[in-house]
C-alpha cells in the first residue's frame, strides 16, 4: 500500500489531522476508532486502514481525499493504481443508487404480497388522501365505502 502512503505524505500535518478525523467519524461504511489512530505516524495509519479494510483501503483513501477537496491527490492515486478518471464518489453514488433501487424493488414486492392486509389495516382514508394531494392533484375522488 505504498501508493496510499505516498499520497498521505503530500498532506501537511493539519490536513493529516483532518484525514484522520474523517476516518474516526466514518465515511460511507468505513470507520476506525479514534484510539487506533491517536498520535500515529502516516505509515501506521495506512497499516491500520489496510488491516481493517484490506480490499477497500484505497477506496476509503480516495473517498476521504475527495471529501477534503484534494482532487489532485485522488487523481495521483488513481494514476498510480491505473484507474480511470471517474471519481470514487461518483462510483460510490452509483453503487448507492443500485442498492436503493434493490430496496425499492423489495419494498414494492412486500406491498404487492401484503396488499390486502395493508388495505384492510387502514381505518382513516382522508388523512392519507390529504397527504397524497401533491402527488395526485385536486381531482375529486369518490369517498370510499366502508
pLDDT in the model for residue 124: 82
Q: Tell me: pLDDT of 145 over 80.
A: no
CA dihedral 32, 33, 34, 35 (to 10 degrees): -130
Q: What is the mean pLDDT of the chain?
A: 82
CATH of the domain at 12: 1.10.533.10
| Within-domain flag for 145 | no
Burial 24-50 (b: 16+ CB within 10 A, else e): eeeeeebebeeebbeeeebeebbbbbb
3-state secondary structure the chain: CHHHHHHHCCCCHHHHHHHHHHHHHCECCECCCHHHCCCCCHHHHHHHHHHHCCCCHHHHHHHHHHHCCCHHHHHHHHHHHCCCCCCHHHHHHHHHHHHHHHHHHHHHHHHHHCHHHHHHCCCCHHHHHHHHHHHHCCCCCCCCCC
Q: How many domains does the chain have?
A: 2
Distance, in Å, from the CA atom of 66 to the CA atom of 30, rounded to the nearest integer, reads 15
Q: What is the pTM of this model?
A: 0.56
pLDDT in the model for residue 103: 77
pLDDT in the model for residue 85: 47
pLDDT in the model for residue 65: 93
pLDDT tens digit sequence for 1-38: 788 999 999 999 999 999 999 999 988 888 999 999 98
Residues 69 and 102 in one domain: no
pLDDT tens digit sequence for 92-106: 666 767 777 777 788
pLDDT in the model for residue 108: 82
Residues 35 and 66 in one domain: yes
Give the mean pLDDT of 125-146. Answer: 69
pLDDT tens digit sequence for 34-62: 999 988 999 999 999 999 999 889 999 99
Using alpha carbons, select from 92, 51, 89, 65 the residue that is nearest to residue 8: 65
pLDDT tens digit sequence for 104-127: 788 788 888 888 888 888 888 788
Residues 43 and 98 in one domain: no
Domain carrying residue 132: 90-136
Amino acid at each position: 500500500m505504498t501508493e496510499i502512503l505516498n499520497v498521505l505524505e503530500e498532506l501537511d500535518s493539519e490536513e493529516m489531522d483532518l484525514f484522520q478525523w474523517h476516518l474516526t467519524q466514518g465515511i460511507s461504511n468505513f470507520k476506525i476508532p479514534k484510539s487506533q489512530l491517536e498520535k500515529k505516524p502516516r505509515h501506521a495509519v495506512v497499516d491500520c486502514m489496510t488491516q481493517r479494510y484490506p480490499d477497500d483501503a484505497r477506496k476509503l483513501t480516495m473517498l476521504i481525499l475527495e471529501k477534503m477537496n484534494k482532487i489532485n491527490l485522488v487523481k495521483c492515486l488513481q494514476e498510480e493504481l491505473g484507474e480511470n478518471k471517474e471519481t470514487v464518489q461518483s462510483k460510490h453514488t452509483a453503487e448507492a443508487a443500485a442498492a436503493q433501487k434493490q430496496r425499492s424493488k423489495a419494498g414494492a414486492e412486500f406491498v404487492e404480497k401484503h396488499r390486502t392486509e395493508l388495505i384492510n389495516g387502514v381505518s382513516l382514508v382522508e388523512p392519507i388522501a390529504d397527504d397524497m394531494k401533491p402527488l395526485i392533484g385536486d381531482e375529486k375522488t369518490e369517498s370510499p365505502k366502508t
